[in-house]
Chain A
Amino acid sequence: MVIFDQKSSQRSQPAARFAGWVLCAGFVVLAGVLFASPRSVEIPIAPASAVDRSLLVVGPRREAMKDPPRLMVEGVPENCNACHQIFKSSHAGGEAINYHQELKLSHGLNNRCVNCHDAQDRERLTLRDGTTVSFGESPRLCSQCHGTVYRDWEKGTHGKTLGSWVTDAQSQRRLVCNECHDPHSPKYEAMKPLPGPNTLRMGEQALPHVSEGKRSPLQRWLKPHGEGAKTPTQHEEAR
């Protein structure tokens, strides 16, 4: 235990008093600085970045051919047989001459029209055993080769369900194969990703080393004002 030494305490009293004065003065100066500083620390926040709503449309990925199948011919919806009963539809060379030019066929070995389309009735699809199904029943056609995916789709573990999560609800709708996959080119094409996150939690702002010192009071005096008023933000630098 330290015994109180009256002598030394007497000696240190002026020093302590001086320190007290300095402390008081310091507080006064601090208060003055805080009052003189701008009303709030202005943190530059980037303008709201919004993703175009047209990229966020809910629904099937593509429009599937429905019953009865129709194709726009010269701006008029025509059913398949209207043309196919008149015109010879296939050629030794294999390419479509007038219509269906836009079709990109990339389905592995399955690259013959009549493997899936019925040769006699173009408004129906043909199964392996020779029976035909309508376009609305196309999953049956796909299931002949893609049995495992088909079983998953039946259970709901593959594919997309819209409307409601409630099983057997009226509004629940499970999309069929060709509402996501193009049957002529079933593989998904690579797509452009939407913009990534901006994890600056206060929003977009100047980098510390090029900032105007708003976040560090000391830098306010160390750096002259006005210089580099437009500093590159992290986002711009990354570009």
Chain B
Amino acid sequence: MKEVRIWDGPSARSGPPEPELTRRSFLRTGAAAVGGMAALAAALSPLRELALDQAPSMDQFLQKHYKEMTAAEMEAALDRIRKKVEERYDVRPHLRDIKPMEGVEFVYALNLSRCIGCRKCVHACVAENNQSRSPEIQYIRVIEMPRGTLDVEKGDHHYDRPTVPDAAHFYMPVQCHQCANPPCVKVCPVEATWQEPDGVTVIDYDWCIGCRYCEAACPYWARRFNFAQPKLPKEQLNPNMSYLSNRPREKGVMEKCHFCLHRTREGRMPACVEICPTGARKFGNVLDPKSEVSQILKTKRVFVLKEEVGTLPRFFYYFDERYPNSIDPEALAIAQKLREEEGDRYGQLPGAAGPDRAMIAATQPQWWDGRQA
């Protein structure tokens, strides 16, 4: 009977004979090994750039996602970050994790009729939020657009003029719109970014893997990536920080505007609203009917950028109607004529030449008509 063998064990003798180690096979194997090792070394060579002090500690490596951390774990994480910030910037930060307020949904409104394009918001934001100064990261982009169009393709955010505003342009600042239907959240493969109950889309900088999908998904160019190790002079660090907002970021993570949540969740205004010299920026709780933003949505001509993409932004642009200062052209013509007759006598007292007839004619046409009749 023929032997049926299922497995040729090491003890099997009928297998092929062990190849002899010849000079040729030695050289061949050796060269292959050297080549392979060299290739491996070449592939691993970027690791040489990994400085040991930048490498994450074991605790940081094992840190859980923001939403999965218990209070104690969060405190430990905060402590670790505090220590790191202190090491790097010689400042003990006031770092905490601030939760959203109940019954609050933040909304932002921006008056395009009032914005003069001075870029103060851009730099106030940078001072507040500890962005990298070099390479430069800014959350707000002020686009100078020719009047008569809303096509951002025609805009320019590198405008450099001796003075603003320019008569032929208007200015449209763009930052994170905190969408109610955020595409950036949908594309994140690791759920490192999500929408909070108060409407702010936040990022867990320790969970982000830096794939930049969100940057590509955002129709408002709102997300910024730390391509290089962020640089921030020690004396410019803002020590008032929270976990989800302005704590210092690392290389390779995404960041963006978060409505200054370390301020706004404590009732304060965002930095860009506070600095705006014209009051073009408005911020508040849309669930409060008395708030300024609710009034704007109710009474002003409001629009959102790229409405057609369906992101439902919480950032609204609005216009003022032209304010007629109650002077109708006919009354103004009469007033100007009177002014010419009288000349510009600034300090004129009523006793000297009677009341200022030009002003009255301009602002109270009925009065003037009565006098004439």
Tell yes or no: A80 within 8 A of B by CB.
no
* 1/0 contact string of A30-43 vs chain B (CB within 8 Å): 11101100011001
B83 contacts the other chain (CB 8 A): no
* Residues on the A chain within 8 Å of B275, using CB: 56, 58
Give chain B residues whose Cβ lies under 8 Å from the Cβ of A68: none
What is the size category of the interface that chain B forms with chain A? 35 or more
Q: Which of A24, A53, A55, A156 contacts B31 (CB 8 A)?
A: A24
A16 at the interface (CB under 8 A from B): no
Given contacts A28-B35, A47-B134, A188-B116, A112 and B325 within 8 Å (CB-CB): no
**Do the beta carbons of A157 and B116 come within 8 Å of each other?**
no
B228-252 contacts to A (CB < 8 Å): 228, 231-233, 236
B112 is an interface residue with CB less than 8 A from chain A = no
B162 near A165 (CB under 8 angstroms)? Answer: no
User: Which segment, of B5-13, B88-96, B202-210, B262-270, faces chain A?
Assistant: B262-270
Contact with A along B283-299 (1 / 0, CB 8 A): 11100101110011001
1/0 contact string of A108-121 vs chain B (CB within 8 Å):
01111111000100
* B64 is an interface residue with CB less than 8 A from chain A: no
B49:A180 contact, CB within 8 angstroms: no
- Chain B residue, CB-CB nearest to A45: B134
A178 and B65 CA atoms in complex are apart in Å by: 50
A119 to B363, CA, bound (A): 20
Residues of chain B contacted by A190 (CB below 8 angstroms): 116, 163-165
Binds A, one of B74-82, B177-185, B304-312, B343-351: B343-351
Binding site for A on B (CB under 8 A): 31-32, 34-36, 38-39, 41-42, 45, 48-49, 111, 116-120, 122-124, 126-127, 133-136, 138, 141, 157-165, 225, 227-228, 231-233, 236, 264, 267-269, 273-279, 282-285, 288, 290-292, 295-296, 299-300, 318, 320-321, 323-327, 332, 335-336, 339, 343-350, 352, 356, 358-360, 362-364
Q: Are A155 and B292 in contact (CB under 8 A)?
A: yes
User: Which residue in chain B gives the minimum CB-CB distance to A149?
Assistant: B323
Does residue A72 face the partner (Cβ distance < 8 Å to B)?
A: no
Residues of A contacting B160 in the complex (Cβ-Cβ under 8 angstroms): 193, 196
Which of these, B123, B321, B350, contacts A51 with CB under 8 Å? Answer: B123
B161, B267, B276, most chain A CB atoms within 10 A: B267
For chain A, residues 117 to 163, give those with C-beta under 8 angstroms from any C-beta of chain B: 119, 128, 144-149, 152, 155-163
* Known A92-B345, A145-B325: A193·B283 in contact at CB below 8 Å: no
**Contacting residue for B120 out of A147, A163, A194, A197, CB 8 A:** A194
Contact A31 B39 (CB under 8 A): yes
Q: Are A192 and B163 within 8 A (Cβ)?
A: yes
Most chain A beta-carbon neighbours within 10 Å: one of B127, B299, B347, B360: B347
Contact A165 B279 (CB under 8 A): no
A109 touches B359 (CB 8 A): yes
Given contact pairs A43-B228, A55-B120, A94-B345, A203 touches B359 in the complex (Cβ within 8 A): no
State how many angstroms separate the Cβ of A42 from the closest Cβ of chain B: 11
**CB distance A197 to B157 under 8 Å?**
yes
Residues A56 and B346 in contact, CB atoms below 8 Å apart? no
The answer to whether A193 and B119 touch across the interface, beta carbons within 8 angstroms, is: yes
What residues of chain B lie closer than 8 Å to A166, measured between beta carbons? 267, 285
Q: Looking at the complex, which one of A94, A159, A197 makes contact with B136 (CB distance below 8 Å)? A: A197
How distant is B343 from chain A, measured CB to nearest CB, in Å? 8
Q: How distant is the Cα of A21 from the Cα of B284 in the complex, in angstroms?
A: 70
Extra pairs beyond A156-B291, A159-B279 (8, CB < 8 Å): A28-B35, A39-B48, A111-B346, A146-B325, A155-B295, A156-B292, A188-B278, A193-B119
The residue on B at minimum CB distance from A37 is B45
- Inter-chain contact B48/A157, CB cutoff 8 Å: no
B41 near A31: Cβ-Cβ < 8 Å? yes
Query: How many angstroms between the C-alpha atoms of A178 and B243 in the bound complex?
Result: 40
Say yes or no: A191 contacts B163, CB within 8 Å: yes
Find out whether the CB atom of A49 lies under 8 angstroms from the CB atom of B120. no
Known contacts A109-B336, A175-B279; decide if A40 and B123 are in contact (CB<8 Å): no
Which of A32, A105, A192 has most chain B Cβ within 10 Å? A192
- Among A39, A53, A148, A180, the residue within 8 A (CB) of B323 is A148
Determine if B363 and A145 form an interchain contact, defined as CB atoms under 8 angstroms apart. Answer: yes
Task: Say which residue of A27, A28, A50, A194 sits within 8 Å of B233 (CB atoms).
Answer: A50
When the two chains form the complex, which single residue of B38, B111, B228 contacts A45, counting CB atoms closer than 8 Å?
Answer: B228
B347:A89 contact, CB within 8 angstroms: yes
B97 → chain A, closest Cβ, in Å?
Answer: 21
Contact of B359 among A46, A110, A202 (CB under 8 A): A110
A235 to chain B, nearest CB (A): 11
A185 at interface, CB cutoff 8 A: no
Contact status B118-A191, CB under 8 Å: yes
Residues of chain A contacted by B335 (CB below 8 angstroms)? 109
Known: A31-B41, A90-B349, A192-B163. A56 touches B282 (CB 8 A): no
A23, A95, A105, A149: the one contacting B35 at CB < 8 Å is: A23
CB of B314, distance to nearest CB on chain A (Å): 14
CB <8 Å contact, A163 and B269: yes
Nearest B-chain residue to A155, judged by Cβ = B295
**Which of B116, B161, B269, B285 neighbours the largest number of chain A CB atoms within 10 Å of its CB?**
B269
Residues in chain B near residue A48, CB distance under 8 A: 133-134, 231-233, 236
